[in-house]
Amino acid sequence: MNDTASETIVCTACGALNKAPAAKLAAGARPKCGKCGAPLFSGEPVAARSVADFERQTSKGTLPVLVDFWAEWCGPCKAMAPQFSAAAAMLEPGVRLMKLDTEALPEVAGRFGIRSIPTLILIRGGREIARQSGVMDAQSIKRWTEAAMQRG
Ligand code: ZN
């Protein structure tokens, strides 16, 4: 068995680590969590619920995580939300899309030095590999993410 042939996916419901063959994911399989039975992918972004949840999602799995730093008061963030959701449907299961409310989790926003929102940060293995501020449409989010993964 080649280790690179499987992905470790963090369950967004219970946090359990699940192994799935990369080839099956690429072929359209949509596995469920072995511990709680929740689907590992929903086609929608997942919200970071706590600092610990954010840490686990971004550092324990092998999938890159695209994080949307947003806030309730931010008009452009709200304008981008449906575009980010559409991008999740296009980018899963190769990438996990996550929304981070900068008002609810200011520690995380501070650690990444977020100065304007919306800001997208692509994280792999706990490490930032790219960031982009400003509103993007779904296609632009997809293209930008794929280009960043090629480089990073
Ligand atoms: Zn689970």
Q: How far apart are CA 90 and CA 143, in angstroms?
A: 10
Output the CA 116–ligand 1 centroid distance in Å.
33
User: What's the average model confidence in pLDDT over 8-20?
Assistant: 96
User: What's the average model confidence in pLDDT over 15-26?
Assistant: 93
40-94 pLDDT, tens digit per residue, is 999 999 999 999 999 999 999 999 999 999 999 999 999 999 999 999 999 999 9
Task: Please tell me the pTM assigned to this model.
Answer: 0.94
Bridge partners for 131 per DSSP: 121
User: What's the average model confidence in pLDDT over 95-120?
Assistant: 98
Q: Identify the residue whose tokens are 């949307």.
A: 68
pLDDT at res. 4: 59
Q: Centre a 10 Å sphere on the Cβ of residue 2 and count the other Cβ atoms it contains.
A: 6
Output the CA 10–ligand 1 centroid distance in Å.
8
Domain boundaries 43-151, corresponding CATH code: 3.40.30.10
* Residue 74 bears catalytic tag: yes
DSSP summary character for residue 95: S
Q: How far apart are CA 134 and CA 119, in angstroms?
A: 6
